[in-house]
Amino acid sequence: MSPKSERPLSPHLQVYKPMLTMTMSIVHRLTGTILFFAIILLAWWLISAAAGPAYFDFVEDILVSIPGRLVLLGCTWALIHHALGGLKHLLWDTGHGYDLDMVEKLAKGSLILSVVLTIAVWAIAYGVR
Amino acid sequence: MTLRTPLNKVRLYGSARSGTDHFWHQRLTSIANIPLTIFLLWLIIPLSGASHAEVVHNIKHPLIAFGLIAVIISFTWHMRLGMQVIIEDYVHSDGRKLLLVVFNNLFCSMIALISIFAILKISFGV
């Protein structure tokens, strides 16, 4: 079969009405990709701690700057959202939670909980410092 | 159109005997990542804005160092598997796909090696 043959293709994503469950699926991939790169920050922070106080202070200044904090806030949310999405997938792997009502609840729940937990983590971080 | 059966097409290519390994390791690391994420947050939240001495003092502890190394191994393994699925889903040219999978492996290995080295260096004494 020639790859160039112009056969009609089945309708793709754009023909569907965007749904929360579909968006959460895309967001799970997106947050995974964000975390894939965000781990550079964790590695950089560890390297700076191993390198000594001068370099550590240099890195810390960047991380605690306003843009640095915004990036870290985004990473925190991505981490928590991906973790909750992962729990959802583990539940589905057991064969449970597939009725539409439940799927919708899980999508809404994980979104709301991820925001709440992100705020909680940052509130604790600000509280203990 | 071919008259060869599917069985004949795969015969002599050998069985990888690892058909579900990718899926299984993704699940295993995802389960490990749940307590490891909680550990990481528990460790890092109080260290936000901490001094170098404070951070080093914390990571020096063998249990913390063990935990952090576990975080790095499980996270990098999980993200290697995840990114490979994304590459295989969206990159259709064989050459580019292979190249990106190689880069993916290289990136995840480098992150793991560098991070583990840093943790050990701190733990054994800077």
Contact yes or no for B80/B108 (Cβ under 8 A): yes
How many Cα atoms sit within 13 Å of A29 on the Cβ side? 12
Least-confidence region, from A28-42, B11-25, B71-85:
B11-25
Q: Is A43 on the interface with B (CB under 8 A)?
A: yes
Q: Residue B73: which pLDDT band, with cuts at 50, 70 and 90?
A: very high
CA distances from A127 to A38, A120, A121, A123 (A): 24, 10, 10, 6
On whether any CB of chain A is under 8 Å from the CB of B43, the answer is no
> Which residue in A49, A83, A93 is closest to B55 by CB distance?
A49
- Of the listed ranges A117-126, B19-28, B50-59, B101-110, the one predicted with least confidence: B19-28
Distance from CA of A31 to the nearest CA of B (A): 11
Q: Over chain A (129 residues), what is each successive 10-residue block's mean pLDDT?
A: 66 79 94 98 97 97 96 98 97 94 95 97 91
- B35 part of contact set with chain A, CB < 8 Å: no
Residue in A29, A90, A124 nearest the CB of B30: A90
Which comes out higher in pLDDT, residue B65 or A129? Answer: B65
Q: Is A1 on the interface with B (CB under 8 A)?
A: no
Q: Is B16 part of the contact surface with chain A (CB cutoff 8 Å)?
A: no
Give the number of beta-carbon pairs within 8 Å between A and B: 79
The arithmetic mean of pLDDT across residues B107-120, rounded, is 98
At residue A41's C-alpha, the angle toward residues A35 and A46, to 5°, is 125
Cross-chain residue pair A93–B27, CB shorter than 8 Å: yes
Give yes or no for residue B17 having a pLDDT over 80. no
pLDDT at position B36: 98
CA A7, A9, A10, A15: dihedral to nearest 10 degrees?
A: -150
Among B56, B77, B125, CA closest to A60: B56
Of B34, B49, B79, the CB nearest to A83: B34
Query: What is the per-residue DSSP string for A23-49?
Result: HHHHHHHHHHHHHHHHHHHHHHHHHHH
A119 at interface of B, judged by CB pairs closer than 8 A: no
Q: Residue B7: its pLDDT value, please? A: 80
CB A102 within 8 A of CB A16: no
pLDDT of residue B2: 75
